[in-house]
Amino acid sequence: MHLKNIFNTIDTHTAGGPTRVVVSGIPSLKGTTVKEKKEYFTKEFDHTRKMLMQEPRGHAGMFGAVLTDACEPDADTGVFFLTSAGYLDMCVHSAIGVAMASWETGITATTRKTIVLDTPAGLIPVERIENRGTVLYKLTTRPAYVCSTGKDAVLPEQGRTSADVVFSGVFFLMIDMDQHGIKVTAENAAGFINSAPAIISEFNGSKSPDCPVKGKKADISMVVFYNKISRNESLNLVVSASGAPDRSPCGAGTGALMTLMHSRGELDINENFTNKSLTGTEMTGYLSDGEKLNEIKTSVPNILSEAYITGFHQFVSDCNDPLHPFLM
């Protein structure tokens, strides 16, 4: 054995969404902000992301989080997020996993019931809520808003459909499958998963609207295929541009759904909402009032979920191993 890298991780799931929290093995990262540290990691250590996220140690649906020193004085720890395909400034389910692991293992030294994460997207508070033996974690996201409504998109089998663009950490393309009389189920999930990359590519190629807040094209990162069950309940499947389905209901996607419903007058501020996944898990949440950004009304999603540790791992790379990380 000729080992050249050793990484210790805490693996978690948040409503089914996996996160591999890297707690040691990463060299000191240059930068005066967590965003700069993420950019430095991207340039110098992308091979580490591939090793930990891709096969044979990970898979196409794997998410990760790299802990680093906080750069903001009000934060408890710094963190940025990985996927098998790249990087995220913010990931709700992974951030909840980081906070839960911090409390459960002491990797972040705090006894307070709220942990503040310093992320490339800004400061993100996560609150631990205990209720009758159950522990929930409430994350308050950055402001979300509806970017554009009634946009044309093309579904492979159903043809043209109406879709909405919502910013909730990233840009989501929201497709209400009730307009086609189609239920989002495990049995037809493969069709949604296989079609999402083409839908996103086609939409970003010619139909992406200008974002009134950011002043640039709203490039879509994920598609939300959803059914409305009732005023306060929905079921969805969220698929990324790389074709990876979210195992959880998707925290940011849940925020996007609540924001869209609120813009239609279908959900009030502080009204509870439940979003379900195809794996049988759920996230709950509610909206707080947000400030105006470039005269655009925003709301602030608050997402609640259970989260659990699934393992403590030590990953290594052997100098003699000819196999490079890959995705099937």
Here the tokens at position 328 are 């099937």
Q: Give bridge partners of residue 77 from the DSSP assignment.
A: 117
CB 69 within 8 A of CB 79: no
Core vs surface per residue 82-104: b (16+ CB within 10 A) or e: bbbbebbbbbbbbbbbbbbbbbe
In a domain, 324, yes or no: no
In a domain, 186, yes or no: yes
Enzyme catalytic residues:
91, 250
In a shared domain, residues 161 and 218: yes
In a domain, 139, yes or no: no
Torsion sign across C-alpha atoms 166, 171, 177, 179: positive
CB 267 within 8 A of CB 232: yes
In a shared domain, residues 215 and 271: yes
Strands (E), 107-232: 114-119, 122-131, 134-140, 145-155, 159-168, 170-176, 220-230
In a domain, 134, yes or no: no
Distance CA 210, CA 222 (A): 17
pLDDT at 215: 85
CB 161 within 8 A of CB 185: no
CB 212 within 8 A of CB 147: yes
> What are the residue ranges in the chain where pLDDT is below 50?
none
Residue 76 has φ and ψ, to the nearest 5°, of -90, -35
pLDDT at 173: 96
pLDDT at 15: 98
pLDDT tens, position by position, 117-172: 999 999 999 999 998 889 999 999 999 999 999 998 888 777 788 999 999 999 99
In a domain, 138, yes or no: no
- List all residues 6 or more positions away from 299 whose beta carbon is below 8 Å from its beta carbon: 143, 144, 145, 258, 259, 262, 269, 287, 288, 289, 290
In a shared domain, residues 275 and 314: no
Count of the separate structural domains present in the chain: 2
CB 135 within 8 A of CB 145: no
CB 98 within 8 A of CB 81: no
Q: Give bridge partners of residue 6 from the DSSP assignment.
A: 316
Residue length of the chain? 328
pLDDT tens, position by position, 78-125: 999 999 999 999 999 999 999 999 999 988 877 789 999 999 999 999
In a shared domain, residues 182 and 276: yes
In a shared domain, residues 24 and 107: yes
CATH of the domain at 232: 3.10.310.10
Query: What range does the domain containing 206 cover?
Result: 145-297
In a shared domain, residues 166 and 103: no
Residue 23 has φ and ψ, to the nearest 5°, of -105, -20
pLDDT at 153: 85
In a shared domain, residues 93 and 192: no
CB 34 within 8 A of CB 118: yes
In a shared domain, residues 194 and 102: no
In a domain, 140, yes or no: no
pTM: 0.95
Here the tokens at position 235 are 């079921």
